[in-house]
Amino acid sequence: MSNTVHVYDARADHATVTAESPLAYSFQRSGMPAPGEASGEESRAVIGERAFLGHLILRGGAIVLDEALREVLGIGLPGRPNSLTVDADGQRSVQWLSPDEWLLIVPGDETFGLETRLRAHLGGSHVAIVDVSAGQTLIELSGEAAHEVLMKSTVYDVDPHAFTVGKGVTTLFAKTSVILRRPDESRWELIVRRSFADYVYRWLLDAGAEYGIGVVREDRHESQ
């Protein structure tokens, strides 16, 4: 038995293939209505995908992981269940998933370096770090009716007064599951499994139709 951990840079930057976001197919097949396009009225809900982010699952003891993360990234683990910590410029976040599990999301090109530095800092600690970037994607939902779209879709209480900024939960969404969080006043984030991304996207288009839901394509393109 060997204790060697093999760490790979899973990003496609250096490869010759073009990276496709999990929703690339859905955008083509189901379309990308501009906000308000379908209803002819002003759009009250907007969705957009933030693809190619780095998603790392951290497992282990809270104290050792918190210390390493503060040292390497400058933000700590959220102290309470169902909560979220976001760094100053809003690009990096850590979310509580379970008593020994957290989801760390950073810009895609930082993933490998961050994982390497975390591993170096953690040394032989009893922890696990798994890069799940390829397995899920982040869908952003905003607009004044964003929570109304969510109310149609999840059993969780998404009233903005109950689901306050800084909260994040894993719950049901339509017939699948989702990690739902609120990083700031104006946005909701849905982290969905890649294989369910198309389902969630089409569900959102349908559920949001009455609010004139539209899609905004992110302008930050994957650098090739």
Cβ closest to other proteins, residue 120 vs residue 172 = 172
User: What residues between 91 and 150 interact with other proteins by CB under 8 A?
Assistant: 97-99, 101
SS3 145: coil
Question: Contact, 188 vs 182, CB < 8 A?
Answer: yes
Binding residue for other proteins (CB under 8 A) from 169, 192, 207, 215?
A: 169
Q: DSSP assignment, residue 208? A: T
Q: In the structure, how many helices (H) and strands (E) does the chain have?
A: 5, 11
- Annotate 126-140 with DSSP letters as a single string: S-EEEE-GGGEEEEE
Shortest gap between Cβ of 173 and other proteins (angstroms)?
9
Shortest gap between Cβ of 164 and other proteins (angstroms)?
13
> Which of the ranges 26-34, 106-114, 136-144, 166-174 carries the binding residues for other proteins, by CB under 8 A?
166-174
Question: Contact, 19 vs 98, CB < 8 A?
Answer: no
Name the β-bridge partners of 146.
none
Cβ closest to other proteins, residue 7 vs residue 128 = 128
Shortest gap between Cβ of 55 and other proteins (angstroms)?
17
Burial of 78 (0-12, 13-18, 19+ CB in 10 A): buried
> Which of the ranges 4-12, 63-71, 75-83, 131-139 carries the binding residues for other proteins, by CB under 8 A?
75-83
Q: DSSP assignment, residue 83? A: B
Binding residue for other proteins (CB under 8 A) from 52, 102, 112, 156?
A: 156
Binding residue for other proteins (CB under 8 A) from 79, 159, 172, 217?
A: 172
Cβ closest to other proteins, residue 78 vs residue 108 = 78
User: What residues between 78 and 97 interact with other proteins by CB under 8 A?
Assistant: 80-82, 97
Beta strands in the chain (DSSP E): 46-50, 54-59, 84-86, 93-98, 101-106, 128-131, 136-142, 168-173, 176-181, 187-193, 214-215
Largest alpha-carbon pair distance within the chain? 64
Binding residue for other proteins (CB under 8 A) from 57, 76, 171, 206?
A: 171
Shortest gap between Cβ of 97 and other proteins (angstroms)?
7
Shortest gap between Cβ of 215 and other proteins (angstroms)?
27
Site residues (vs other proteins, CB under 8 A): 80-82, 97-99, 101, 155-156, 169-172, 177
